[in-house]
Amino acid sequence: MKQLWAPWRLEYVRGVTNKEEEACVFCGILDQKPDPDNLVLYVSKHWGVVLNRYPYSNGHVLILPRAHISEINQLESGFLTTLGPVISTVETALKRCYNPHGMNVGVNLGRAAGAGIPDHLHFHVVPRWMGDTNFMPVLAEVRCINDHLTSMYNKIKPHLEEAFRRSHEEFKSDC
C-alpha cells in the first residue's frame, strides 16, 4: 500500500481534540486585519470573509458573523440584511478569480450536520468545477487541492476588494 503524506493536517487533528479547551478561533480571527498569514480577506462591522484553512477546493471561503452564535435564528438583523449581498459579492469575486462551473453555498448547523466548529456559525462558499470530484476522499480520506493557501489568498483578495467596491450603495455603509 502507498502512503500519501499530509503533515500540514497535524495542526488540524490536534485542534479537533482540544476544541473545548481553546477560545473560539473565529472570534479571534475577526479581530485581526486582513493578512495572508491569518487568511482574513475582508472584515466589516457585522461579518468577515476568510479563506478556509482546510478547503474542499480552490477558493473555498467562509463568511463569519462577528457574534459568537451557533444558529441562524440568533443572527442580528444587521448581519441578516448584509448576508445576501456579501454572498453575492464573494460569488462575483470567486467567479472572476477562478472561473468555476458552479458554486456550493451553505451552512452546517451542529456537529451532526458536519460543522467542524459548531459553536460559531459560518457560511461556506465553495467554487466547483465539472469533474472536480474523484476517488481520493473515499479511498484515502484525502482531498487534492492544486493551489497553495497563500496563492489562493493573493488571487482572491484583489478580486474581493474590487467586488466590494462595486457593490450596492446601501451595502457599502456596512463595510
Q: Which residues are catalytic?
A: 122
Cα(108)–Cα(88) distance, integer angstroms = 19
**Contact assessment for residue 39 and residue 64, using Cβ atoms and an 8 Å cutoff:** no
* DSSP letters for 21-88: GSPPHHHHHTTSPPBTTTTEEEE-SSEEEEE-SS-SSTT-EEEEESS--SSGGG--HHHHHHHHHHHH
Q: Name the nearest CA neighbour of 26 among 108, 125, 116, 93.
A: 116
d(CA 27, CA 85): 22
Which grid coordinates are listed for 102? 458552479
